[in-house]
Structure 1
Amino acid sequence: MRDERAAERRRQGALAGLRGGREQPLIGGPRRAAARPPRFFTVHLGFAAAEPAVARELAVAYAEALGLLRPELALGAAALSPADAWHRAERLFCGAVGPDGERCADVADHPGFHHAPGPGGLGWGDGD
């Protein structure tokens, strides 16, 4: 009669090889344990206006008011477009970069100096 211990060891070794030598599930957890960095999102607010000039004034007022309530909003990215033509969006604020890296918080296509956000913000550029 043969010794069955050698055959049993080979069988156990083969099964351990199929399991990867461990008793863990085949599907692992997520590789990235850290949270993802924040991303930018856009909110589209609809409102009625008689003409584009009035719509621009209202949009600037809404954006500035929201910026006062929520300072984390990126006002430089605010844009205005007709409700049925988002591809025709026009920026609302200048956004020119100043000498200290700040961006102009004035309305787009404004005349005169550029102005940093906040009361008493730095002015730069060619003024009138």
Structure 2
Amino acid sequence: MRLISRRHAPIATAALAAVLLTGCSEIQEVNNAVDKVQACAEAAKIATDLAGKVVGLATDPAALEKALNEAAANLRSTAEKAGNTTLEEAANGLAKTYESITVENANNAVDAAQKVVTDTAQHVSSITAACG
């Protein structure tokens, strides 16, 4: 077996470093893509789960308010992990919408539930577009 001479060692080291760094950047790209896919699925699930249960919560203003706040917090957390500016903006936009809905009484809760369903449908299309 022939050993690398001292004169060629820096070149060999540089070549090895280049190969390793290239591999690391590719791994990082894959990790970013996985993060984006997970964030897309999570954001869509949070939104559709809330839209599915708001009608049942329309008679309980406190429970509806709590569900809106939890969904908004979960969307913001998901947005932070997205690794994609467009997806982050879409998830934060829906979170902001949920945070802006105030539920004070039963009549207001019915209106809020309708608004959640309508706004969720609009924002889910933005989230889906960001994921595409």
Asked whether the two chains share a fold, i.e. TM above 0.5, the reply is no
Q: Which structure has the highest helix share of the two? A: 2
Per the normalisation by structure 1, the TM-score is: 0.31
Greater gyration radius: 1
Per the normalisation by structure 2, the TM-score is: 0.30
Q: Which structure has the highest strand share of the two? A: 1
